[in-house]
Amino acid sequence: MKTVFITGASSGIGEACARKFATEGYRLILNARRAEKLEALKAALVSESAIREEDILLLPFDVREREVAKQAIETLPAAWQDIDILINNAGLALGLEKEHEGHFEDWDTMIDTNIRALLSITRFVVPGMVARKKGHIINIGSVAGDAAYANGAVYCATKAAVKVLSDGLRIDLVDTPIRVTNIKPGLVETNFSVVRFHGDQQRADNVYKGIEPLTGKDIAECVYFAASAPEHMQVAEILVLANNQASGSVIYRN
């Protein structure tokens, strides 16, 4: 039975990935800060799919806490140490302001979560994959990493970093069987915009007005496509947009 480690599994794309991989017969290591959400997801997965309780390990911690992450990963029970797939999904946008008017705290949180924490988790998990000559790292980037859009420069920069870090890791692992994939979604309706607008649900809802957005499930299908591709096939990137979306900033609304 293969093991998948998903960061940010308490909501949205990460939660949808947990559901998809549970259905496909994987064992799950699920991370996020909100332990109660992970507990609820575990209970739902056990009752709704064929996965057994003992095949889900909850690992709640803040991915920005490097020492905590190191300890959690290094002290995984022996039966859980051989991680086959790492899905670096935990991430967020905060604010939508001009670069010269943005908030330092928002910038630091985005940079610490989307770049520094993704790097730390990668650093702690990938050496084991190298030693076992087996593994797959799937990073959740974004269309936002392809080009800046108005008022989103710092978030876009963090996702551009995810692209470059994915490419760099793929280069550094080129002499191994380990695969690296960067999934770049467009507009996905999750808790993303509620978080971005610091809890303003009305403003978040407006982001998805007049267009049918992607769902977390759509992205989980892309992630699983990359994960289940034959071993000789490395899906380097998937860019997946909502219909009526052409880029991070070109969106047609009815």
Q: Where does 103-198 show beta strands of DSSP type E?
A: 136-140, 179-185
Among 45, 51, 87, 90, binds ligand NDP (CB under 6 A): 90
- Judged by CB under 6 A, the stretch of 66-74, 114-122, 142-150, 225-233 that binds ligand 8X3 is 142-150
A 10 A CB-CB count for 147 gives 12
12 binds ligand 8X3 (CB under 6 A): no
**Choosing from 26, 149, 155, 252, which is the catalytic residue?**
155
**Sequence-distant (≥ 6) Cβ neighbours of residue 130 within 8 angstroms:** 173, 176, 178
Tell the burial category of 239 from Cβ atoms under 10 Å away from its Cβ (0-12, 13-18, 19+).
Answer: middle
- Sheet of 237-240, strands arranged across: 56-58, 27-30, 3-6, 85-88, 136-140, 179-185, 237-240
145 contacts ligand NDP (rule: CB under 6 A): no
Two tokens, residue 253: 């609304």
- Exposure on the CB side of residue 14, measured as CA atoms within 13 A: 29
Q: Kindly state the smallest distance separating residue 159's Cβ from ligand 8X3, in Å.
A: 6
When the beta carbons of 71 and 174 are compared against ligand NDP, the nearer one is: 71
| Residue from 9, 28, 144, 160 binding ligand 8X3 (CB under 6 A) | 144
Q: Within 154-193, which residues bind ligand 8X3 (CB under 6 A)?
A: 186-187
Which of 99, 158, 88 is closest to 125 using CA atoms?
A: 88
Which listed residue (113, 122, 166, 181) binds ligand NDP by CB under 6 A?
A: 113
Query: Residue 37 binds what, of ligand NDP, ligand 8X3, none (CB under 5 to 8 Å, by partner type)?
Result: ligand NDP
Given the complex with ligand 8X3, which of 8 and 186 has the nearer CB atom? 186
Residues 45-74 interacting with ligand NDP (rule: CB under 6 A): 62-64
Q: How would you label 31-64 residue by residue, b for 16+ Cβ within 10 Å and e otherwise? A: bbeeeebbeebbeebbeebebeeebbbbbbbebb
Q: Which residue is nearest to ligand 8X3 (CB)?
A: 142
Minimal distance in Å, beta carbon 53 to ligand NDP? 21
User: 26 an active-site residue?
Assistant: no
Residues interacting with ligand NDP, by CB under 6 A? 7-14, 31-34, 37, 62-64, 89-92, 113, 140, 142, 185, 187-188, 190-192, 195, 216
Active-site annotation, residues: 155
